[in-house]
Structures are given as structure tokens and as C-alpha cells.
């Protein structure tokens, strides 16, 4: 036989449990799922799952949804998707500006991480391509051949990121008249597997490398120094060395932004506040990515360990 417990007793028990855990028993305004987008690079999976698991601690119903990096903005505008934890200034700014201008998407501020995405080469390649890191060194036939493969010779090969990441590398090659062929890696993992293989053999490689990431920490190398990015470079063909084409400069650098459906603040104000408070810097994220990509820990374990070791930090986000 069971007996109904008095409401006061239930509330007392709940408050005791909350005090012991250091987190709210439930701060969720409703049971509707908050949909966080997942993409195809390790750091984004980590930052998204950290935020999602923290929101679960506050009682929110969380769904993780695989989504294309740029195409996700369509879902964020309609409210079919709710939160994107990493929009990089380097590649996502155009899509972010267009989406926020509609009033249907909100920028929740920077994540604490600073983005660099650019052409990168191992330092040993400077021996066969004198003049690096200046981009003009890549214009020489000798340098192009030094970076070439059987499939691209006499042109050099530049290994770009998956096409869905954007970045305008094909346009950059054409605008700067570089004797290179852009070959896009199929996945983030394939991109860095090729770097690992080439580096071990001291083989030619020129590829897209980004930070925060373990690669520029593990390997000795440099980013190519293109003409510094200005907004006009992407918008005005008259800007820069090629008067007829845009994108004759390097990629922008800047914050990694947190973005949400504009209705988030009304439907889940507590979650809106927590996501706005989320912050992790490059060094910390680089270490977490290293655990997953180099040490072989599942992303879920990396996140669970971070949650266990940083309770004071994330508890303040959901306070």
C-alpha cells in the first residue's frame, strides 16, 4: 500500500536535493524540446553538447539535430531549429548578418573563442617554396609544383575544407591568379588525417587549418599571409590587387558567435540567459579537442568530464 506524501514534504525533499546537487531541480519554463544543431567538426560537437548537457541539468528537454552549417539558418529563422553554438566570423558572417537582419535570428554574443581559418603549411615546406608565408610565393611555378600531386601537376594542390563550410577558396584562387587547384576534403576527419600522414612523411601539403584546434598546436607550421581581409574585399571587385574580382584577400578573423531563433528568449528565457553566458576560450577548447581527436576519447566522455570538473562555472550559467 502507498500513501500520498504531503506537498510540503515533497517540496522539502526537492529543495534538499537541489541544495546537495548545487543545481536547480528544474528551471525549465516548459517541456518543449530545445533543438541544438550539430555539425561536422569536433569542437562544435563539444561546445554544443556542453551547453546541451548543462541545460539538461536545469531541467530542459534537449534535442540534438544534425544540420548543415550554412543551411541551418533557414531552420533558425522558422523556429524549427533553436540554437547554433558556433558561427565563425571567418566563414559564417555573411549568413549571420542576413539572418539577423530579418529579425528572426538573434546573435547571443561571442563564445569566448577567437577564430582563425586560413591556408596552412608545415614549416618544412619553406625549404622548397622560398618566400613563404607571403602569399605571392605561391604564384611561382616552382612553388606550385612543390605543392602539387600527380592529379594536379603542374598546378599545386590546396586541400580545402568540406564544401559546406564555405570560405571562398575557389574564388580566392581565381582572384589572386594562383596556379593551384582546390580539392575539398569530404570531412573534418579526412582533412586532418591527410595532414597527419603528410607530416609524418615530410610530404607536400597545403591545406585549410583552423583554430581553436589541436593541429596548429601539435605541428610546426604557418598560415599563409594573404592581403588582410576587409569587408570591401568580399563586396567590391575594385578593392585589392585584382580590379575585376572580389575575394582577392585572406579570410576574416574574429569571434565565434552563439546564435538562436529569435523566439528562444520568450519561450525559454532561462535557457536564453544560460546560452548567452556560455564562454570557453581557445586554449581550453583546444585541449578538449585534443582529448577527442588525438587521445581517442568519445565526445560524450570529454563533455561528461568537463561537466564534472567545472560545476561552479556552469552552475552560474543556469543560476
Instruction: Indicate if 133 and 90 belong to the same structural domain.
Output: no
Q: What is the pLDDT of residues 181-198, one digit of tens each?
A: 999 999 999 999 999 999
Give how many domains the chain has, as a whole number.
2
Domain assignment of residue 15, yes or no: no
- CA separation, residue 100 to residues 72, 77, 111, 261, 273 (Å): 13, 9, 17, 9, 18
270-289 per-position pLDDT tens digit: 999 999 999 999 999 999 99
Same domain, 146 and 196: yes
Could you tell me if residue 176 is inside a domain?
yes
Would residue 243 count as lying in a domain? no
Residue 248 lies in a domain: no
Shared domain for 129 and 208, answered yes or no, is yes
In a domain, 249, yes or no: no
Asked if residue 23 has pLDDT above 50, the reply is: no
Please enumerate in sequence order all residues whose Cβ is within 8 A of that of 179, keeping only pairs 6 or more positions apart, or say none.
138, 139, 141, 144, 154, 155, 156
Same domain for 126 and 214, yes or no, is yes
Query: Can you give the pTM of this predicted structure?
Result: 0.80
Per the domain annotation, does 127 fall within a domain?
Answer: yes
Q: What is the pLDDT of residue 91?
A: 87
Whether residues 213 and 293 share a domain: the answer is no
Are the CB atoms for 129 and 205 separated by under 8 Å?
Answer: no
Picking from 235, 266, 299, the residue at the C-terminal end of a domain is: 235
Find the domain containing 67 and state its range.
Answer: 29-112+255-317
DSSP state of 151: T
CATH of the domain at 92: 3.40.190.10
Indicate which CATH number applies to the domain containing 168: 3.40.190.100
How many Å apart are CA 274 and CA 317, to the nearest integer?
5
272 and 195 co-located in one domain: no
Is the pLDDT at 17 greater than 60? The verdict is no
Q: Are residues 148 and 192 located together in one domain of the fold?
A: yes
Element (H, E) at 272: helix 269-277
| Domain end position, chosen among 205, 235, 265 | 235
Looking at the structure, do residues 107 and 129 belong to the same domain, yes or no?
A: no
Q: How confident is the model at residue 51 (pLDDT cuts 50, 70, 90)?
A: very high
Give the whole-angstrom CA distance, residue 220 versus residue 122.
Answer: 6
The pLDDT, as a whole number, for residue 7 is: 35
Amino acid at each position: 500500500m502507498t500513501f500520498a506524501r504531503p506537498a510540503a514534504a515533497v517540496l522539502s525533499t526537492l529543495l534538499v536535493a537541489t541544495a546537495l546537487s548545487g543545481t536547480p531541480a528544474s528551471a525549465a519554463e516548459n517541456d518543449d524540446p530545445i533543438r541544438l544543431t550539430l555539425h561536422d567538426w569536433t569542437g562544435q560537437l563539444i561546445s554544443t553538447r556542453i551547453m546541451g548537457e548543462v541545460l539538461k541539468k536545469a531541467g530542459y528537454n534537449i534535442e540534438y539535430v544534425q544540420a548543415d552549417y550554412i543551411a541551418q539558418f533557414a531552420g533558425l529563422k522558422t523556429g524549427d531549429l533553436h540554437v547554433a553554438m558556433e558561427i565563425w566570423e571567418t566563414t559564417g558572417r555573411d549568413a549571420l548578418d542576413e539572418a539577423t537582419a530579418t529579425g528572426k535570428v538573434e546573435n547571443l554574443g561571442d563564445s569566448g573563442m577567437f577564430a582563425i581559418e586560413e591556408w596552412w603549411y608545415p614549416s618544412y615546406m619553406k625549404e622548397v617554396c622560398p618566400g613563404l608565408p607571403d602569399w605571392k610565393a605561391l604564384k611561382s611555378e616552382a612553388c606550385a609544383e612543390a605543392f602539387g600531386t600527380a592529379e594536379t601537376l603542374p598546378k599545386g594542390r590546396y586541400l580545402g575544407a568540406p564544401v559546406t563550410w564555405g570560405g571562398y577558396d575557389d574564388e580566392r584562387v581565381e582572384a589572386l591568379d594562383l596556379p593551384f587547384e582546390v580539392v575539398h576534403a569530404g570531412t573534418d576527419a579526412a582533412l586532418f588525417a591527410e595532414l597527419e600522414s603528410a607530416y609524418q612523411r615530410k610530404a607536400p601539403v597545403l591545406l585549410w587549418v583552423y583554430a581553436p584546434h589541436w593541429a596548429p598546436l601539435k605541428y610546426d607550421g604557418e598560415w599563409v599571409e594573404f592581403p588582410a581581409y576587409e569587408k570591401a574585399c568580399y563586396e567590391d571587385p575594385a578593392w585589392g590587387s585584382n580590379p575585376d574580382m572580389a575575394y582577392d584577400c585572406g579570410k576574416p578573423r574574429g569571434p565565434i558567435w552563439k546564435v538562436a531563433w529569435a523566439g528562444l528568449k520568450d519561450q525559454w528565457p532561462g535557457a536564453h540567459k544560460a546560452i548567452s553566458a556560455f564562454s570557453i576560450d581557445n586554449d581550453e577548447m583546444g585541449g578538449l579537442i585534443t582529448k577527442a581527436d588525438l587521445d581517442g576519447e568519445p565526445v560524450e566522455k570529454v563533455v561528461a568530464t568537463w561537466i564534472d570538473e567545472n560545476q561552479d562555472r556552469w552552475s552560474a550559467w543556469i543560476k
